[in-house]
C-alpha cells in the first residue's frame, strides 16, 4: 500500500516536472518570438494545407509534386482573384488616399466644436486652449507621417521578407513533415511510445480542425460582409469586408475590431448616424449567421473550447505578443490543453510511466 502511494506521489512529481519544462519552453518562445513567429505561421499554414496534400498524394503523385501543385494552384487562384478584383480594390484605395486630408479636416472641425463646448463647462479652463491643442496636433499629422515614412517602408519590407520566409518554411514542412514526426517517435523510449504517439495525433487533430475551420469561417464572413455593406451603400465596402473577414479569425474580439473601420467610414464619410446604425445591423446579422450556421459546421464540435478560456487565452496572447499573440493564442491553447490531458491520463490515471 505504501509502495503504491509512493508511486502516485512520484507520478505527480514527474507530471509537474514535465509541466515545468513546458512552461520554460513557453518562456523561451516568448523571449525569441521575433525569430520563431515565422515558424509558427508556417505551422498554421501546414495544418490548413496538409489534408489537401494528403489527398493529392493519394492519387499516386509524389509528396514533393503534390506540395508544388498546391503552391502553383494557390498562386494561380490568388493572381486570378487579384486580377478580377484589382480594379475595384485599386479604385477604393485611390479614393481613400485622396479623401484622407478631408477626413482629418472633418475630424478636426468636430473635435474643435466639442472642445469649445467642453471648455465652457469646465471652470477656470482657459478659452481656446483645447482648440489650439487639437489644431496643432492634427496639423502636425501629415508631417509626422512624412517623417515616419522610412520606418513604414522598412516595416513593409520586413513584412515582405517574413512572408517569403514563411512560404519557404511552409513548403518544406509540408513536404517533409512526416519525416520530422518519424524522427521524433524514433528517439522515444518504448515505455513512452504510446503516450507520445497519442499526443502527436491529438494535437494534430485538435489544432488542424480549428485552423481549417477558422479559415473557412473567415472566408465566408468576408464574403457576407462585402455583400451586406455593399447593399447598404457603404463606401469602401470591398476593403472593409475583407478586413472583417481577416479580423474574424480572432475569437470574440475580432468582429468588434472589424466593425470599427466600417462605423468610422459611416460617420466620417457619410456623416450619418443612420448609416452607422445600418453598419452595426449588417455586422450583427453577419455574426448571427456565422454563429448559428457557419461556425458550427466549419469548426463544429471537434474542438471543445470554453468561451472563457478562449477569451483569456486571446487576452494573454495579445498582452504578450500583440496582434500575432491574439492570432496564435487559440491554436497554442488547443495544443497545450491536449498535452496536459494526455500527460495526465498517461501518468496519473493509467500510471503508464510508473516504471520510468
Looking at residue 125, its pLDDT comes to: 57
- Please write the tens of the pLDDT for every residue from 269-303: 777 678 888 999 999 999 999 888 887 777 655 56
> HSE (CB half, 13 Å, CA atoms) of 265?
22
CA distance 286 to 237: 14
Q: Can you tell me the mean pLDDT for 328-347? A: 83
Q: Classify burial at 267, counting beta carbons within 10 Å of its beta carbon; exposed 0-12, middle 13-18, buried 19 or more.
A: middle
Task: Establish if 198 belongs to a structural domain.
Answer: no
Is residue 185 within 8 A of residue 349, CB to CB? The reply is: no
Q: 297 or 217: whose pLDDT is higher?
A: 217
Closest among 312, 350, 304 to 206, alpha carbons compared: 304
- For residues 272 and 136, which has the higher predicted lDDT (pLDDT)? 272
* C-alpha dist (Å) from residue 276 to 30, 96, 114, 272: 39, 18, 20, 6
Q: Summarize pLDDT for 139-176 with one digit per residue, the tens.
A: 555 555 555 556 666 666 777 788 888 888 999 888 88
Whole-number pLDDT of residue 114: 62
pLDDT at 208 over 90: no
Question: What's the DSSP call for residue 123?
Answer: T
Number of domains in the chain: 1
Count of beta carbons in the 10 Å neighbourhood of residue 340: 14
* Residue 163 within a domain: no
CA distances in angstroms from 210 to 245, 247, 301, listed in the order given: 16, 16, 10
Cell numbers linked to 25: 519552453
- Distance, in Å, from the CA atom of 268 to the CA atom of 223, rounded to the nearest integer, reads 24
State which of 79-83, 136-140, 210-214 shows the largest mean pLDDT: 210-214
- Helix (H) / strand (E) element for 180: namely helix 149-186
For residues 161 and 153, what is the distance between their CA atoms, to the nearest angstrom?
A: 12
Q: Return the H-helix or E-strand segment holding 10.
A: helix 2-31
Q: Is the pLDDT of residue 36 over 70?
A: yes
Q: Which grid coordinates belong to 282?
A: 449588417
- 63 part of a folded domain: no
Better-predicted residue by pLDDT, 318 or 273 = 318
pLDDT tens track for 96-125: 666 666 666 666 666 666 666 655 656 555
| Per-residue pLDDT tens over the stretch 226-282 | 999 999 988 888 888 989 998 998 888 888 888 988 888 888 777 767 888 899 999
Q: Residue 20's pLDDT is what?
A: 78
pLDDT at site 77: 80
Report how far residue 96's alpha carbon sits from residue 264's, in angstroms, rounded to the nearest whole number: 13
Q: Which domain holds residue 228?
A: 215-300
Write the CA distances from 267 to 107, 122, 182, 245, integer angstroms.
10, 27, 57, 21
DSSP 313: H
pLDDT at 93 over 70: no
What is the DSSP track for 189-216?
-HHHHHHHHHHHHHHHHHHHHHHHHHHH
- CA–CA distances in Å: residue 295 to residues 83, 109, 192, 205, 253: 30, 43, 37, 18, 15
Q: What is the pLDDT of residues 53-69, one digit of tens each?
A: 888 988 989 999 999 99
Whether residue 167 is contained in a domain is answered as no
Task: Please state, rounded to an integer, the average pLDDT across all residues of the chain.
Answer: 77
In a domain, 226, yes or no: yes
For residue 8, being part of any structural domain is answered with no
Share of the chain above pLDDT 90, in %: 9
Structural contact between residues 192 and 207, judged by C-beta atoms closer than 8 angstroms: no
Amino acid at each position: 500500500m505504501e509502495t503504491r502511494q509512493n508511486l502516485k506521489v512520484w507520478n505527480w512529481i514527474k507530471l509537474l516536472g514535465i509541466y515545468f519544462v513546458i512552461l520554460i519552453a513557453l518562456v523561451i518562445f516568448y523571449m525569441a518570438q521575433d525569430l520563431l513567429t515565422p515558424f509558427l505561421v508556417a505551422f498554421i499554414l501546414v495544418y490548413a494545407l496538409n489534408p489537401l496534400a494528403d489527398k493529392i498524394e493519394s492519387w499516386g503523385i509524389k509528396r514533393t509534386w503534390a506540395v508544388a501543385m498546391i503552391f502553383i494552384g494557390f498562386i494561380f487562384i490568388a493572381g486570378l482573384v487579384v486580377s478580377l478584383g484589382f480594379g475595384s480594390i485599386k479604385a477604393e484605395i485611390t479614393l481613400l488616399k485622396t479623401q484622407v486630408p478631408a477626413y482629418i479636416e472633418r475630424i478636426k472641425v468636430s473635435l474643435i466644436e466639442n472642445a469649445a463646448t467642453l471648455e465652457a463647462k469646465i471652470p477656470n479652463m482657459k478659452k481656446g486652449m483645447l482648440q489650439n491643442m487639437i489644431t496643432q496636433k492634427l496639423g502636425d499629422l501629415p508631417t509626422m507621417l512624412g517623417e515616419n515614412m522610412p520606418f513604414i517602408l522598412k516595416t513593409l519590407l520586413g513584412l515582405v521578407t517574413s512572408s517569403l520566409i514563411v512560404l519557404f518554411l511552409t513548403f518544406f514542412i509540408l513536404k517533409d513533415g512526416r519525416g520530422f514526426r518519424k524522427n521524433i517517435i524514433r528517439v522515444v523510449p518504448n515505455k513512452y511510445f504510446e503516450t507520445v504517439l497519442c499526443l502527436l495525433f491529438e494535437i494534430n487533430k485538435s489544432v488542424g480542425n480549428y485552423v481549417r475551420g477558422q479559415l473557412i469561417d473567415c472566408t465566408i464572413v468576408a464574403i457576407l460582409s462585402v455583400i451586406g455593406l455593399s447593399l447598404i451603400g457603404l463606401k469602401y465596402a470591398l476593403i472593409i469586408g475583407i478586413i472583417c473577414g481577416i479580423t474574424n479569425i480572432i475569437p470574440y474580439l475580432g468582429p468588434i475590431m472589424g466593425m470599427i473601420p466600417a462605423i468610422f467610414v459611416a460617420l466620417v464619410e457619410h456623416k450619418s448616424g443612420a448609416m452607422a446604425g445600418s453598419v452595426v445591423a449588417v455586422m450583427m446579422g453577419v455574426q448571427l449567421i456565422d454563429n448559428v450556421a457557419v461556425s458550427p459546421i466549419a469548426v463544429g464540435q471537434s474542438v471543445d473550447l470554453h468561451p472563457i478560456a478562449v477569451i483569456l487565452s486571446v487576452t494573454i496572447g495579445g498582452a504578450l505578443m500583440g496582434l500575432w499573440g491574439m492570432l496564435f493564442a487559440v491554436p497554442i491553447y488547443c495544443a497545450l490543453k491536449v498535452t496536459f490531458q494526455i500527460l495526465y491520463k498517461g501518468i496519473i490515471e493509467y500510471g503508464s510511466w510508473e516504471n520510468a
